[in-house]
Structure 1
Amino acid sequence: IDNHNFTVTQVYVCEPRFEFVVPLKSVKVNEREHAVLETELNDKDCDVQWYHDEQPIV
């Protein structure tokens, strides 16, 4: 690109802003036991996936 050839544009990105309306509480479990994570978001129809160290929790 030089001083005579350039392009200008505007980009608008719209993403849903999900918010926790019920905070996530700390959960303690023993090793190899199941933990239940419960919270509530401002959109009841959204899909949620939990991650740990960038790996999905199943």
Structure 2
Amino acid sequence: MKLNTLLFLLMLVFVPLAGELNIHPFANTFRLSFGTPVFFSFCYLFVIFRLHYRECLQG
């Protein structure tokens, strides 16, 4: 449970910071933000750690 709390706190910090980073690949007419990929990466980590935690409890 402490690991989930730590991941949540890290997500609260890193997702907005990553959202500030933008790439303008097509001469300022289109931009890509890193906030959404970082958010989904943290969601994936929550799932992986939760499954690993269940396996450890089951033996």
Shared fold per TM-score greater than 0.5 = no
Q: Which has the higher contact order (CA 8 A, sep 6+)?
A: 2
TM-score computed with the length of structure 2 as normaliser: 0.24
Structure number with the higher strand fraction is 1
Structure number with the higher helix fraction is 2
